Structures are given as structure tokens and as C-alpha cells.
Structure 1
Amino acid sequence: MSRLLHELILEQADHRPDATAIVYRQTPLDYASLASLIQSAARGFMELGLNRSERVAVYLPKRIETVTALFGTALAGGVFVPINPLLKPEQVAYILRDCNVRVLVTAGNRAELMEPLLADCPDLHSIVLVDGPIWTTHAVRHLRFIAWSELLSSDTKRLPARGIDIDMAAILYTSGSTGKPKGVVLSHRNMLAGAHSVAEYLDNRTDDRILAVLPFSFDYGLSQLTTAFVVGASVVLMEYLLPRDVAAMVAREAITGLAAVPPMWVQLARLNWPAAAVDSLRYFTNSGGTMPRATLTALRQALPKTTPYLMYGLTEAFRSTYLPPTEIDRRPDSIGKAIPNAEILVVREDGAPCAPGEPGELVHRGALVALGYWNDPAKTAERFRPLPGQNPGLPLTELAVWSGDTVRMDEEGFLYFIGRKDDMIKTSGYRVSPTEIEEVLYSSGQAAEAAALGILHPTLGQAVVAVIKPLRDPFNESELIAHCKRHLPNFMVPLQFIARTTDLPRNPNGKIDRKILAEELRALFQEPAS
């Protein structure tokens, strides 16, 4: 059984060398070839002077070189840092500085955009370019630029292990919707435990073909690789463009597994799916937020042969819960129970367990709990805290992830997401979940996209404001207000509805960014200065 992340690929290459590991632009790459590439890349990184536990950043869209660089870094004993290709140079430079990146793998055009900022990245000594001509910068003389083909060593003999399973494997940066992004440090053990757990409940198998649409900088996106490789399945790489492109790719590549976040599912649910896609897609998964019930219903109608998995996770613990598909009709709003090899607690502020139905904070314990936030002991101490109720006979403290999310657990142990602590709306003395309001907005049939916000108000504390992108033009506000009044108590009905013709802002992982919207509307109820 694999102990280190890259061994997933090497073991598949030993047992099923001709099986397809990756498909990129309709060209398959088998496990033997991928194993050879990561061996070559690992030797190349070591020849560049990469030492054990040093960081390699990969700033690329999804392509063969991206996957090779990630797993080649792991084989070399380094720590890979996947950077969302949508990030701007200033955001990338922050990550390079924050975790002292030594090697950057990127494309020529991206490196040129980064050039003015490279002088502020003193730990960076090598930039590997996967395309374009090799160039040098006079601004940073210590930097070495090399071509990807030059990095790849001709020596593909298997390298000995350069670490153990508790060593750092990856640093994944959160989206940074509040302040600067935080680097979540994951060990090989974390990532392998997560891969085995998710593959178990999804029943992944060797003949699965998984579409990788989400960015690898997102733990949910990266897990499409690890869960596939743990069983020897195939991953089809895709950069997300339009919803219809996803459906077309599912049909063309006979995709069996598709993972996405709620805003993407809302769009995909409105499509007429090709017959080939309806026949091939075995399962789909949702994480990164609550899927509106109307969206789930539409997807199940459009994809009647496909099994839905509703999940909840956080980067600090990879994945926490899933709802068994057999329970969806009984409790479609539930996020399920703990995944295999994890335990989920619901606790009060003092750590005491909540009663059934009582809202509390979700706490995750087990092998998936990350190593903390890179170079940030204060935030690590806030989020990674002693396990509540630990046996007093144990002399060493077990750390768990205190999620910051409010949930409730029913009498049968099923969990229901209420909201993030910092997203909860406090209006007229009530604490209101924005996701509950958004569910009603989507069920109206008028909202293509929706976000509920709490905006500072002189008498209410916060006023509930709904921002929507209408599904149809013209937008019937009075009808939407009436719908909300039928389904929500008065204190939850939005005081104001704001319609936008453009998409709602998203963070780099594709989730609707309530923080940006709240900042835009911060002065909505403030009296103008005299």
C-alpha cells in the first residue's frame, strides 16, 4: 500500500502499465509513461538543487506538465504548491514569498507577466518554462531559466523514497476572501487517507473516467487526481469554459464521474444533456457549498441514470461528510455523515456536545486533519485546537479542526449545514443562515444565481439583502417577494432585492463570493454625510 503520494502512480505503472492515467486534448497517457515522466522530473528538480521539504510552485492550467510537476516534486522529496491559473501576478508573488518557493514551473507568457515582481521573491532560484523561448531577466540576476525538456532527466531509473508519510506533501492556498490567503499544509498521510476514503464511498474503479474541471489548487479539484490514481482510473483534463462544453466533454470522453461546485451545477442543471453523457455519467459530486434543492431536482431529471453525492469538506481536513445516495429522497438538505476514517462532532462554544437539533460548530478529527497553516502560528492555533472531550488519560493532546461552520445533527446522526460563523446574518435579534434564504430564492424559478447578505442597518443591526442574476428578463420582483413571504418568516425576507445582469463575483475556486458583494453594498443603508 502506498505511503507516499507519488507511489500511487508508480504502483499502477507496475501492475497496469498500459492503462490510461491521463487524457489531455484527446491524447491518452498511460501509467507507465506518466511514471517515467515523474521520475525524470524528480531527478531534474534534484539536479536544480531542490532539497527535502523545499517548495515547488506550479502556476499552470491543467496539462500533462502540471500533473508531472506536482507528483515529480513529491518524488523528489519536495512540497508542491499548486497555484490557481486565474490568479494575477501580484497574488502569485505573495504565495511565492509566503512559502519561500525555490522553483517555479510555469509558461513563458506567465513568467513575463511576473518579471517585475520576481526581485521580491528572494528564495526563488529557478524558473522552469513549459513552453516559449528561454529568456533571462536583468532585474533578478540570480534566477535561472530552463526549458521543461531540459529539466527532464534522461535517467528514468526508480528513485529511492526521500521522506516518510508524515512529511509535508503540498501547501494549498485558500481563496483569501478574508485578508491574505492562508497556506494549508498537507502531509502525504493526509492526502492518501483522503484519497482512499473518497474512492471507497464513491466506489471508484479502474474503468472510471473522471473529468477534472476544478483547479488543482482547490483540494476538491486536486482530489480528482488522487482518488483516480488510488484505484487506477483515468482523469480527463479540462479547463472550464462554458457549461455546454462540460456536457459535451462528458459525452465525447465517456466520462463516468464529475465533480463541481454549486454555481457550476446551477448552470449545468439548465442544459439539455447529450444522450451519450446521460448514458455514461455514473455519478456526480457536489462540495464547496450547499446545492439548491431545485438544482438537485433538475439534475436528477436531466441525468436519471446518474448517482448524486452531496458532500461537505474544508481544505484543512480535505473531506468531512457525504450523504449516502439512498438517503437523498428522505433528507435532500443533509450533508450526511462522516466519511470513512473520520469523526465529526457538533459542539457548543465551550466544547460540550450539542443535543440533537441544536446548532453548533462542526469539529473534524482523524487522519485527514492537516498540519496547520504555513508560517502562521496564530491562525493555526485558532483553527487547529485540542479535541473536545479527549480522554484525560492521554498525555499528548490530539488536535482537531474547528471548522468555523455552524451545523446541526438530527436524532439519526445526519448533519445539516446552517452557515459559516462569519457569514451568519444577525438581524432584529435573530441569527439567519444565508444558505436557507438562497434555497428559497432558487426555488422561485426566477434566480439564475443568488446570494443573501447581511448589510449594516441603523435599526435592524443587519438587513437581509438578496443579490440575484435573474433567470429571465424582465425580472418580476413583486412575484419573488411574494414567494419569499410564503416560504420564509418575516425577519428572513430580504429587505431589498438587487438584480444584476452580470454573473455574481466568484472566488478562484468558483464559489460565489459573498464578501465582495457585501463590500460593494456596505453603504447601502448608511445616511449620506451632510
Structure 2
Amino acid sequence: MTPSASSSGTVIHEVFGRAYERGEQPALIDLRGGHVYGYRSLVTEVTRAASGLVRRGARRDQVVGVHVSTAGTQTVALHTVLAAGGVAAPVDPGLGAEEVAERLRECDARMLITTPDLAGTAIAAADGSRVRQVVSLGPALDTIDFRGLLVLEPIALPALDAERQDALALPGGARLTHAGLLARMDELDAPVGLKESDVVLSTWPPGDGADLPALVGLAVSKGALIVAAGPGDLPGHGYDAGVTVLTGPGGALERVG
């Protein structure tokens, strides 16, 4: 299953449009999560899981909370929601159950994707919101295993309108369309002009904003490699990993070397 041609101009089309031709070239190294995502396997997992969400009743424009602990899991979960025609609501993983529930109520989420380490908080938050299904990227009690979405009978993914279709539900009721998220990707790219040969070191943790999704989307769309790290994840200095672009505060990117 490939991104739908009828979704041209959307985040999914722009980010993954050349993923298959890049094969298993690494797209994202998630040091905190301990995973390496290749281009082909990443787009395959996202589109198959999106089909599974639709099979499980996810509807176009439905809000799905993304309550995960690493950049890699946020990337998989968020793009799965977008490919299914939904609106992703990033949730700060540092919030407590009642705060997560408040966030889910604010955006009227009906589904929540989490990780096993946050599943207890996610389940408690779901009980205080209108969420009826909690999907976990890994086995966790009282959740739907994300891997199960990948084996459901494939179904066509919905066509999307980049200008009108919301991509992200942000705190305070703000929304960002697919076109708006692509515009944010362009803003991040302006100072550095990412190339396929670049290695981007990101120290931005998953949160409730648009910058990390925009950064990962930008890097993948350009064919670059993004290394997502937290404090202490890299032995020595980031330059040792061949890094050419660093992230800074306030959504800034800086070319080095």
C-alpha cells in the first residue's frame, strides 16, 4: 500500500513520496527508543497501520491523541493518524493522567496512541475523556497492540485536501492544516537548506507542539538522516556521529562543520 495519489500535496505525500525508491536507507535513528527506521519500512508500517485504524472505525477528521515517549514512536503514530485521514493531537508525555484527560477532552479525541511505559497514564486519562480505544506501540494491559493493526485486511485510505484538512490539534484549541504543517517545515528548512547527505541531530523531546513533527517530516522528505537524542544518549560530542545540522531553542536549525 502506498500513499494515495489523491492525497497529493498533503504531509503524507510530501514526506513519504520518495520513500520506496530510497529503500532501507536509514531515515530516523531513535537513540532513546533504540530503533532505526528505514524509509521503506517506515512508510509501509505507517500506511498499513493507517488502514488498520480505518478498519477499526477511525473516521476522517477524527482526533487521535498521540501520547508517546520518543521521537520515533511519535513519528510512526502521528503519520499513521494523518494517513488514516485523522487529526493528530500531540500530548506532552510528562503530563499526569488528569492533565492528559483534560487535553483529550479539549480536542475531543476519540482514540489515543501511547507507548507501554505511558500506558497506565493513558488508560487512566482515557477513562476521564471520550476516548474509547487506546492503542499501544508495544504490548500493554488493556490496550490494542499496534502490531495488530498491520495484519488487518487492507482498505483504501481516504483522499485528503491539503488546504482544508487539519493535521494537528494543538493546545488551546488551535489547529494546523496539512498545508500549515508543510509551511512550518519550509520555515525550519529556510536557514539550512537540508540535503540528502545531511545528518540532523535533534534533541527536541516529544511534546504537544508542531516543531518536532515538522522537523522529522522535513528530514524524511529531503532524504536526510535524523538522529533523535536526549541528554546522555550520545557518547561524546554530536559531531562524532557525522552530524551536519543541529537543533536549537525556539525551533531553530543550525548548520555545523
Q: Would you call these one fold, judging by a TM-score over 0.5?
A: yes
List structure 1 segments (4+ residues) > 4 angstroms apart after TM superposition.
114-117, 154-157
- Cα drift, residue 194 of structure 1: 2.4
Query: For 2:27, what is the secondary structure of its paired residue?
Result: strand
8 Å Cα contact 1:12/1:229 also seen in 2: no
8 Å Cα contact 2:112/2:133 also seen in 1: yes
Greater relative contact order (CA < 8 Å, ≥ 6 in sequence): 2
Q: Are the structure 2 counterparts of residues 124 and 30 from structure 1 closer, same or farther at C-alpha, using a change threshold of 3 Å?
A: same
Q: Counterpart of 1:234? A: 225
Letter in 1 for 2:17: E
- Cα drift, residue 97 of structure 1: 0.8
Q: Are the structure 2 counterparts of residues 171 and 130 from structure 1 closer, same or farther at C-alpha, using a change threshold of 3 Å?
A: same
Q: Counterpart of 1:4? A: 10
8 Å Cα contact 2:246/2:256 also seen in 1: no
Letter in 2 for 1:285: L
- Cα drift, residue 198 of structure 1: 3.1
For residues 369-426 of structure 1, give each alpha carbon's deviation from its aligned partner in whole angstroms, at most 9, with x where no partner exists. xxxxxxxxxxxxxxxxxxxxxxxxxxxxxxxxxxxxxxxxxxxxxxxxxxxxxxxxxx
Q: Looking at CA atoms only, which structure, 1 or 2, has the larger radius of gyration?
A: 1
Q: Are the structure 2 counterparts of residues 113 and 18 from structure 1 closer, same or farther at C-alpha, using a change threshold of 3 Å?
A: closer
Query: For 1:113, what is the secondary structure of its paired residue?
Result: helix
8 Å Cα contact 2:60/2:158 also seen in 1: no
Q: Counterpart of 1:107? A: 115
CA RMSD between the two structures? 2.6
Query: For 1:205, what is the secondary structure of its paired residue?
Result: coil
The alignment status of 1:17 with 2:14, answered yes or no, reads no
Query: For 2:29, what is the secondary structure of its paired residue?
Result: strand
- Cα drift, residue 75 of structure 1: 0.7
For residues 473-492 of structure 1, give each alpha carbon's deviation from its aligned partner in whole angstroms, at most 9, with x where no partner exists. xxxxxxxxxxxxxxxxxxxx
Q: Among residues 231, 235, 243, which one is paired with 1:255 in the alignment?
A: 243
How far apart, in 1, do the equivalents of 2:153 and 2:236 lie? 40
Q: How does 1:108-507 map to 2 (within 5 A)?
A: 108-121=116-129, 123-135=130-142, 145-153=143-151, 159-166=156-163, 167-173=165-171, 182-216=172-206, 217-238=208-229, 240-242=230-232, 245=233, 248=236, 250-261=238-249, 285=253, 306=256
8 Å Cα contact 1:21/1:229 also seen in 2: yes
Q: Are the structure 2 counterparts of residues 237 and 183 from structure 1 closer, same or farther at C-alpha, using a change threshold of 3 Å?
A: farther
- Cα drift, residue 15 of structure 1: 3.4
How far apart, in 1, do the equivalents of 2:116 and 2:238 lie? 31
Q: How does 1:56-135 map to 2 (within 5 A)?
A: 56-121=64-129, 123-135=130-142
How far apart, in 2, do the equivalents of 1:48 and 1:154 lie? 9
Query: For 1:202, what is the secondary structure of its paired residue?
Result: coil
Q: Are the structure 2 counterparts of residues 28 and 249 from structure 1 closer, same or farther at C-alpha, using a change threshold of 3 Å?
A: farther
- Cα drift, residue 37 of structure 1: 0.6
Q: Are the structure 2 counterparts of residues 18 and 133 from structure 1 closer, same or farther at C-alpha, using a change threshold of 3 Å?
A: closer
Larger helix percent: 2
Query: For 2:18, what is the secondary structure of its paired residue?
Result: helix
- Cα drift, residue 231 of structure 1: 1.2
**Unaligned 5+ residue runs, structure 1?**
136-144, 174-181, 263-283, 287-304, 308-530
How far apart, in 1, do the equivalents of 2:124 and 2:213 lie? 30
Normalising by structure 2, we get a TM-score of: 0.84
Normalising by structure 1, we get a TM-score of: 0.43
Letter in 2 for 1:127: V
Letter in 1 for 2:151: S
Q: Counterpart of 2:38? A: 30
Q: Are the structure 2 counterparts of residues 151 and 13 from structure 1 closer, same or farther at C-alpha, using a change threshold of 3 Å?
A: same
Q: Counterpart of 1:366? A: none
Q: Are the structure 2 counterparts of residues 27 and 94 from structure 1 closer, same or farther at C-alpha, using a change threshold of 3 Å?
A: closer
- Cα drift, residue 241 of structure 1: 2.6
For residues 252-286 of structure 1, give each alpha carbon's deviation from its aligned partner in whole angstroms, at most 9, with x where no partner exists. 43222111227xxxxxxxxxxxxxxxxxxxxx737
How far apart, in 1, do the equivalents of 2:86 and 2:160 lie? 9
Larger strand percent: 1
**Unaligned 5+ residue runs, structure 2?**
1-6
How far apart, in 1, do the equivalents of 2:72 and 2:86 lie? 19
Letter in 2 for 1:112: G
8 Å Cα contact 2:195/2:222 also seen in 1: yes
Query: For 2:11, what is the secondary structure of its paired residue?
Result: coil
The count of aligned residue pairs is: 246
